[in-house]
Amino acid sequence: MQVAEQRAVAGTSYLFISHDLAVVGYLADRIAVMYRGAILEEGPAAAVLHGPSHPYTATLVDAATRAPVGSGAPFEALPAPPSAAGCRFAGRCERRIDGLCDQVEPPVRTPGPHHEVRCHLDIAELPVWRPERASGPGRPTRSPLDPPSTLGFARAGGPPSPGGGMTPPAADTHEFTELLGGFAEPAAAPAIQRRWVTVVTGGGHVSGVFWHTGTPGTVLLHDTGLSARSFDAVLRAYGRPAVAVDLPGHGRSAWRRSGDYRPRRLAKSLEETVLSYAPGGPVVAGRGLGALAGIALAARFPAAVGRLVLIDTLPGSVARGPEERWPWPSPAFGSRAAAAAWLHSTGSGLTEDEAAQHAALETVQTADGRWVWRHHLAELDGSSLDGFHDDTLWTQLAAVRAPVLIRAGNGALAEALVDRFRTESQDGEVVELPGAGHRVEHDGPDALAELLGRIADRR
């Protein structure tokens, strides 16, 4: 879409007015929903369209997701006049409270950061978009953040969305069942939720796994070939609001048609993601590719990052780890067990149980019944990794204020690189984590969680 391209290239801001929620969800960072001259709701696009939302917003979203793409189905009018006092939508609202909504101006509710809803309903009573509302004969399940059908694309032979398209999939309500079942007391289990944000740069959507309620103060970025779920053990121990992000081309985030996942190329998409998911300058911590992308993010968009934490990673140090030793491209498999056995046999260093867990989290079944890795890099040749070893990222790291390097005792960093970090970084700090290997989130999740908490407390 030319508007999105111009915005990305020229850095232009637009005020876009439309009734087409697919277009609005694709283009907008923020959405204001108006009814008869009054703004009923305003906030980040994903928050407004997925909810909790104003009943009028929910009505618009429901109408958009009920109608088949391109059907031109009309809005279903509700035969009631607008309210002369109170809420402008009271006369048409199926959830109005007579004597209150039609008589008293509604208060402002704040269901999330920078998200305001003018409604008498409590936040817990506000509508939330559910994919099942859009299902049924002739009504495909669509997210309110789906782009118009002409913007979608699919790759022949690639996995289903979220692997090959720009359409954020509906959340899998069973994804975290096993994880939550690991808590001895159900009441002590935290709220865990997967969300998506549509980004302009690179196209498509970026997924994140949110732990606990409230604005995340910490953002975690994973290594090559992994996903947000690689931080489950860390976030379980962390015990405070945080979000682990699926990097573009990984996990449940969209693939890029270009296949370009170099750290510098991820920075702008991550800036859009962090500002949407965790506004206010969070701690951004990453390992491997996530750390290198974090450097580019913090250098180019310092307002998005409160503190940068590099987990056993520096420019030029990305180890020839399990993902990079795979044959490229990766084969497809007849089952997840076959994928796990192949991974264990490649010299990855993973035990059989670890390989099985990795396959359970990082594979997806295609329409023809095969199992493939969720990350796009598995289908690209090995040259796609060349740009990850970018020594010029040292220049960007030198521009980042007070970065923290967590060095694993049995990790991947040579002493010369650590010395260079101490010399070239602005007030950089090195924290040692004895006994941990390079996969710190796996080898020492409790210790990493404790370190991140201390860093967040003095951010």
Sequence ranges of the domains in the chain: 2-134, 152-457
8 vs 27, 28, 145, 169, 203, CA distance in Å?
A: 11, 12, 19, 24, 10
User: What value does the mean pLDDT of the chain take?
Assistant: 80
- The CATH class for the domain spanning 2-134 reads alpha beta
The dihedral region occupied by 366, where left means phi > 0, alpha psi between -120 and 50, and beta the remainder, is: beta
Indicate the pLDDT class of residue 184, thresholds 50, 70 and 90. confident
Higher pLDDT, 287 or 26: 287
pLDDT of residue 179: 82
**Tens of pLDDT, residues 55-97:** 998 888 776 655 443 444 444 444 455 556 789 898 888 888 8
The alpha-helical segments, DSSP class H, found in 123-255 are 177-181, 232-238
Q: What is the mean pLDDT of residues 164-177?
A: 57
What is the percentage of the chain residues whose pLDDT exceeds 90? 38
Most confident of 185-194, 311-320, 350-359, 426-435: 426-435
Please check whether residue 167 is in contact with residue 203, taking contact to mean a CB–CB distance below 8 angstroms.
Answer: no
pLDDT bucket at 37, cuts 50 / 70 / 90: confident
Q: What is the pLDDT of residue 156?
A: 27
Name, in order, each residue with C-beta under 8 angstroms of 194's C-beta and a sequence gap of 6 or more.
Answer: 171, 172, 175, 207, 208, 209, 210, 252
Residue predicted with more confidence, 331 or 117: 117
pLDDT over 80 (residue 329): no
Rounded distance between C-alpha atoms, residue 203 and residue 4, angstroms: 9
Check residues 169 and 248 and name the one with the higher pLDDT: 248
Q: Which of 247-261, 302-316, 355-369 shows the highest mean pLDDT? A: 302-316
Q: Would you tell me how many other CB atoms lie within 10 Å of the CB of residue 330?
A: 20
212: left (phi over 0), alpha (psi -120 to 50) or beta: left
Mean pLDDT of 202-225: 90
User: Can you give the pLDDT at residue 220?
Assistant: 98
Pairwise CA distance, residues 17 & 28, whole Å? 10
Range 123-150 average pLDDT: 51
Which position has the higher pLDDT, 169 or 256? 256
Segment 242-259 shows an average pLDDT of 92
The answer to whether the Cα torsion of 370, 372, 376, 378 is positive or negative is negative
What is residue 19's predicted lDDT score, i.e. its pLDDT?
76
Give me Rg for the CA atoms of the chain.
23
Residue 300: predicted pLDDT: 93
The three-state secondary structure class of 63 is helix
Q: Which two tokens stand for residue 100?
A: 């209150």
Does residue 7 register a pLDDT over 60?
no
The reported pLDDT for the residue numbered 430 is 96
- Local structure of residue 438 (DSSP, 8 states): S
Burial of 416 (0-12, 13-18, 19+ CB in 10 A): exposed
CA angle 292, 295, 300 (to 5 degrees): 135
Is 187 a residue whose pLDDT tops 80? no
pLDDT value of residue 98 = 84
pLDDT tens string 380-411: 866 556 667 788 899 999 999 999 999 999 88
Read off the tokens for 274: 């962090």
Q: How far apart are CA 190 and CA 327, in angstroms?
A: 39
CA distance 302 to 317: 23
What integer is the mean pLDDT of 215-230? Answer: 94
Q: Please name which of 194, 411, 457 lies closest in space to residue 310, comparing C-alpha atoms.
A: 411
Equal fold, 2-134 vs 152-457: yes
Percent of the chain with pLDDT over 70: 77
| pLDDT for 343 beyond 80 | yes
Which of residues 384 and 437 earns the better pLDDT score? Answer: 437
Q: Which of 5-19, 121-135, 149-163, 358-372 has the lowest mean pLDDT?
A: 149-163
| Superfamily grouping for domain 152-457 | Alpha/Beta hydrolase fold, catalytic domain (3.40.50.1820)
* Between 171 and 419, the higher pLDDT residue: 419
